Structure 1
Amino acid sequence: MQLPKVSVTGSPVTALPFKEQISIMVAWAKHHSSRMVCVANVHMLMESRGNSRLRPALESADLVAPDGMPLVWVMRSLGVERQDRVAGMDIFLALCQESVKFDIPVFLLGSTWDVLDKMKVRLKHEFPNLKLAGMESPPFRELAESEDAELIERINNSGAGFTFVSLGCPKQECWMADRQGKIKSVMVGIGGVFPVYAGMKKHAPNWIRNNGLEWLYRLVQEPRRLWKRYFTTIPPFVWLALQQVSGHRKVKPRRMLRF
């Protein structure tokens, strides 16, 4: 299957509108295809430039969604005029809705049991017919080989078409890449979505997200944790993006052949 992509500051990003990306993921899930979906933002793209494990993980992903208006603006400037934002929370809600429609079970992996339990309650309320195939909050440490094999078997035996993964960047991307071909479902890395959907963190209003200011909203909420990340990733991203856009002719996105 061929998916169009463009390079954004050196990383591949899938160049398709939101609805088309959702349709592709659903088609994969119907057939229990082992696929990897990364939801990329500025932090992930900048992190990949100096992380020897994250970069190949992104390059091997079947789909890299542009989560964040800065990525969308760059893509539009490079000629992808129809590109819209494909954000993690929107992906999660859309896939839950489609999973109900097509009777696709889903599996929640990551975060804490408290978060997972709260998500389960909300999912039951908002998507009463959604089949929750299972949940697992793995330990923070690296799993032993036998533990990992048991987890993979549990996910596969659950019948899940989607496995939503919340381990944080870059851990979740590397985790998914290492299990491509082993987990027979569509793995979707949406680390920040779990605590927000569980109601433990606030979701930025639409006008903030649409204007590319979600980073500032999150920084105000968690200054101690995020100030270093943002001030070491946003300036270099802006610089690299300006260089790329100013020296680039608008061309059609090239296609990436995936088997």
Structure 2
Amino acid sequence: MHGGETTAYNPDYLRKQEKASIPVCNILGVDVAAIDMKWLVAYISGNLPELSGDYICVTNVHTVVTAYEDPEYRKVLNGGIMAIPDGGPLSSLGRRRGFPAMRRTTGPDLMGEIFRISVSQGYRHFFYGSTEETLGKLAERLEAAHGGIQIAGMYSPPFGPVSAAEDEEIVRLINEARADFVWVGLGAPKQERWMAEHQGKVKGLMVGVGAGFDYFAGNIKRAPEWMQRGNLEWVYRLMQEPGRLFGRYLHTNAVFIWRTLGESIKYIRKKPD
């Protein structure tokens, strides 16, 4: 500052400056964070108070293709702190495009890493989504695995639309819990839209983790390590829920392969000789 000038506090400007430090690989219009898990946990831990009220999207092939086809949803994915590469094909593509450090950072893995350090760091957690039965199992298993973990609150929202009055009550409930992390398990694209709508209203860092609640509650199992390493976890999920996922995967995987192939050809042509 010069000559006694003062700079007005502008949280939007500061957030843009903070986001500028995050390396991204643009895939079908979505700015996917070109990071690994170690970087992500260090970033969150080192900036947690400043991230309160904002959100992180957990992005895979399905959400990227959905965003490619829906510009409004694309704004949602690009409008938070970052969209992390949950899907293996995203990080693999990123490495081919010049981001050698880019690795898969799944929602459940991020939850596990944060839970592991929560007691020592004094982190408080709020879980929003799923069913009361799943939330109960989730709490029981977390407390057994991480003695002393602080579960500040849980809420299973109604299945249908929520009125303005009900939404205000939900926000009040979350904010009074004083949580550091607000884990949102509504499934994509609903959870990302909910976080964007509550950006700046909810206290705590919102993270949309999809089926993460079910994994930690023991309702569904993760794929074996060899399938995760080979970007085949989607096959394992498909075997578990073929009726729900077959049509989705058939469409989104085909669009992703076709469109990213076209992008890659353009990318190669633009590279200098």
Q: TM-score range by the shorter chain?
A: over 0.9
CA 1:250–1:89: 2 relative to 1, 3 Å: farther
Give the whole-Å Cα distance in 1 for the aligned partners of 2:237 and 2:120.
33
How far, CA to CA, are the matches of 2:90 and 2:190 in structure 1? 21
The TM-score with structure 1 as length reference comes to 0.93
Give, in whole Å, the separation in 2 of the partners of 1:77 and 1:116: 39
**Once the 2 structures are TM-superposed, how far is the Cα of residue 124 of structure 1 from its aligned partner?**
0.4
Question: Tell me, what secondary structure is at the counterpart of 1:247?
Answer: helix
1:255 corresponds in structure 2 to none
Q: Deviations over 1:146-205 (max 9, x none)?
A: 111111111111110000000010000000000101111100000111112111112111
Q: Shift in Å at residue 17 of structure 1?
A: 1.8
Counterpart in the other structure of 1:237? 256
Partner SS, residue 134 of structure 1:
strand
How many residues are treated as equivalent by the alignment? 251
> Which range moved further: 90-99 or 180-189?
90-99
SS of corresponding position for 1:13: strand
Q: CA RMSD, aligned part only?
A: 1.6
- Normalized against structure 2, the TM-score is what? 0.88
Which one-letter code corresponds to 2:128 in the other structure? L
Deviation sequence 1:196-238 (CA, Å, 0-9, x none): 2111112111110110111111111111111100000001101
Consecutive unaligned residues of structure 2, counting only runs of 5 or more, are 1-17
Cα distance in structure 2, aligned partners of 1:249 and 1:160: 45
Q: Quick check: 2:36–2:103 contact (8 Å CA) kept in 1?
A: yes
Deviates more, 1:26-35 or 1:116-125: 26-35
Match of 1:128 among 147, 159, 183: 147
Residues 18, 27 of structure 1: CA spacing in aligned structure 2 closer, same or farther, 3 A cutoff?
Answer: same
CA contact (8 A) 2:84 2:105 kept: yes
Aligned-partner residue type, residue 29 of structure 2: G
1:250 to partner: Cα distance: 11
Instruction: Report matched runs for 1:41-60 at 5 Å.
Output: 41-60=60-79
Deviates more, 1:8-17 or 1:20-29: 20-29
Distance in 2 (alpha carbons) for counterparts of 1:32 and 1:12: 18
Q: Is residue 2:88 matched to residue 1:69?
A: yes
Distance 1:102 1:30, change over 3 A: farther
Question: What does residue 134 of structure 2 align with?
Answer: 115
Give the 5 Å matches for 1:26-41. Answer: 26-31=45-50, 33-41=52-60
Matches of 1:138 and 1:247 in 2, distance apart? 44
Gaps of 5+ in 1: 252-259
Residue in structure 2 matched with residue 195 of structure 1 by the alignment: 214
The answer to whether the 8 Å contact 1:66/1:86 transfers is yes
Task: Please show how residues 82-93 of structure 1 align to structure 2 within 5 Å.
Answer: 82-93=101-112
Structure 1: which amino acid aligns with 2:263?
Answer: Q
Measure, in 1, the Cα distance between the counterparts of 2:93 and 2:71. Answer: 24
Mean CA deviation greater in 20-29 or 114-123: 20-29
Distance 2:74 2:48 in 1: 25
SS at match of 2:267: coil
Which structure would you say has the larger Rg?
Answer: 2
Of Structure 1 and Structure 2, the greater helix share is in 2
The change in CA–CA distance for 1:104 and 1:245 in structure 2 (over 3 A counts) is same
**Corresponding residue of 1:97:** 116
Partner of 2:185: 166
- 1:93-132 C-alpha deviation (Å, 9 max, x unpaired): 1111232221010101100011100000100011112100
Correspondences of 1:240-255 after superposition (within 5 Å) = 240-249=259-268
- Structure number with greater CO (CA < 8 Å, separation at least 6) is 1
In structure 2, how many angstroms separate the alpha carbons of the residues matched to 1:27 and 1:158?
22
